[in-house]
Amino acid sequence: MQRIFIVFKIYTDLKWRPILRLSEFVAINAE
């Protein structure tokens, strides 16, 4: 069960990090 949680955490990190980077990129360009 612990391993599934770790895999899920890694998957969510990989999924959300590009979105957060994109939002930061847009915020920088908006100025």
Phi/psi of residue 15, nearest 5 degrees? -80, -40
Sequence length of the chain is: 31
Model confidence pLDDT, tens digit, residues 10-28: 999 899 888 888 888 888 8
Distance (Å, rounded) from C-alpha 1 to C-alpha 31? 45
Q: What is the pTM of this model?
A: 0.46
Give 7's pLDDT tier (boundaries 50, 70, 90): very high
Confidence (pLDDT) at 29: 87
